[in-house]
Amino acid sequence: QVQLVESGGRLVQAGGSLTVSCAASGRTFSRYPMGWFRQAPGKEREFVAGISSWNGGSTRYADSVKGRFTISRDNVKNTVYLRMNNLKPEDTAVYSCAASTVGSAVALPTSREYAYWGQGTQVTVSS
């Protein structure tokens, strides 16, 4: 069983930056491919970013955030981060992290590939 706890969401102005974090339980965190997803009111959950197992050498981003968001991981702290720059009102959503326990050298872009999910953290971008 893997527990994921997100933090760092808040209200931010358009054009601003924010980093959200996801702390994971478990002694084999480095083996988990990790992902960030978001869900805005009235919309389906969508992939935001993913990072591969181990050294995180493979990352993948949704087109809507490419060049603005950066996913990273710290295997000592069992934490994955999502750095968000140049935020836009359309980035407003609940951001959730997800973990797969099947090691992967490539980032995983679809929700069905992840077995564990956090509760989410609210990010609101004002115009």
* Confidence tier at 61 by pLDDT (50, 70, 90): very high
Is the Cα dihedral 65, 68, 74, 78 positive or negative? negative
**Mean per-residue pLDDT over the chain, rounded:** 96
In this structure, the strands spanning 59-61 and 116-117 are unpaired
Res 7: pLDDT = 98
* Confidence tier at 89 by pLDDT (50, 70, 90): very high
Res 53: pLDDT = 94
Q: Is the pLDDT of residue 27 over 90?
A: no
Strand residue runs (E) in 8-120: 11-13, 18-24, 34-39, 46-51, 59-61, 69-74, 79-84, 93-99, 116-117
* Cα–Cα distance for residue pair 6/25, rounded to 1 Å: 12
How buried is residue 5: exposed, middle or buried, by Cβ count under 10 Å (0-12/13-18/19+)? Answer: middle
Q: What percent of the chain has pLDDT over 70?
A: 100
Report, as an integer, the average pLDDT of 95-123.
94
